[in-house]
Amino acid sequence: MKKNLSVNDFTNWISQQEEMANFFGLTPRKQENNMDTDSLVGKSVFLKVSSKKFHEKAELQDGENEKKVFTEFKMHGGEVVEYVGKNLLIKTDSGSLLLPRFCVTE
């Protein structure tokens, strides 16, 4: 069985070939799953995706007022409390929600 070669794998392979890396001006990329998981904890984050995608991906903590929490996060952002798996636990004044990392920006 052949392994599919991703763009990231190809770029890393090219960057390891000294002459080619210098020619193309490449350096090895970090794998996304090697990202420092504490890099956003304690920082303010804001919505980066559409409202539709936000409502699809966000998970509220039990007993939270959905409309109030969503509106507040969209308008003012929130603070990252911790990572929960691949999601961020984000705290707003109205409550907390879980959201994937790709949905937010600093």
pLDDT per position as a tens digit, 64-83: 677 888 888 888 888 888 88
Radius of gyration from C-alpha coordinates of the chain? 19
Sorted by where each begins, the domain ranges of the chain are 1-34, 44-105
Report the SS3 class of residue 52.
Answer: helix
Give the whole-angstrom CA distance, residue 7 versus residue 31.
12
The CA-based angle 3-85-66, given to 5 degrees, is 125
The answer, yes or no, to whether residue 35 has pLDDT greater than 50, is no
Whole-angstrom CA distances from 42 to 62, 80, 88, 98 are 22, 5, 11, 15
Report the SS3 class of residue 89.
Answer: strand
Structure tokens, 47: 């919505």
The model's pTM = 0.59
Could you tell me the pLDDT band of residue 62, with boundaries at 50, 70 and 90?
A: low
